Amino acid sequence: MRYWLMKSEPGDCSIDDLAAMKDQTVAWYGVRNYQARNFMRDQMSVGDGVLFYHSNCKEPGIAGIAEVCSTAYPDAKQFDKKSKYFDEKATQETPRWFNVDVKLVKKIALISIEELKHHPELENLRTLQRGNRLSITPLDPAEWRFITTRLVRS
């Protein structure tokens, strides 16, 4: 069991968009960074905890709790010529990109990046580090526990 913070641009897929989806589940396609891919492909398991984070928007922060609900499988968009995530070097035999499915557990009152920065318990949170751009980062169990038990408001 591991814990993850996963960034999504709300203009692309917000917590409300996720809530409206069939089974409240979304395929986390479009990751085109090897480190983030490797986290999904090599380290994620069904049941892992996910903080659903809104990035690149007016109010960045944690918008909900979710969970990993599939193992990794080839990202369909890499084969779709009409998609902006199309990758001409990927083939069905040797896919380059993978994704898992993520299911909503619950929407929460937004925990803003501002608030996250105020807690010394979270000073090592990867997402808060200067220059960090990784869209998927692992969380320590202690960080997960602190956020989900101390900061979450419904």
Query: Closer to DNA at the Cβ: 46 or 114?
Result: 114
Query: Closer to DNA at the Cβ: 22 or 58?
Result: 58
Q: Please state the closest distance from residue 7 (CB atom) to DNA, in A.
A: 5
Q: Please state the closest distance from residue 15 (CB atom) to DNA, in A.
A: 15
DSSP 25: E
DSSP string over 70-139: S--EE-GGGG-TTSTT--TT--SSS---EE-EEEEEEEEEEEEHHHHHH-GGGTT-GGGSTT---SEEEE
Block residue for tokens 């408001």: 153
Binding site for DNA (CB under 7 A): 7, 9, 32-35, 55-57, 60, 113-114, 127, 130-135
Q: How far apart are the first and last CA of the chain?
A: 24
Query: Closer to DNA at the Cβ: 97 or 144?
Result: 97
Q: Please state the closest distance from residue 128 (CB atom) to DNA, in A.
A: 8
Q: Please state the closest distance from residue 23 (CB atom) to DNA, in A.
A: 25
Query: Closer to DNA at the Cβ: 60 or 64?
Result: 60
Q: How far is CA 11 from the centre of its chain?
A: 15
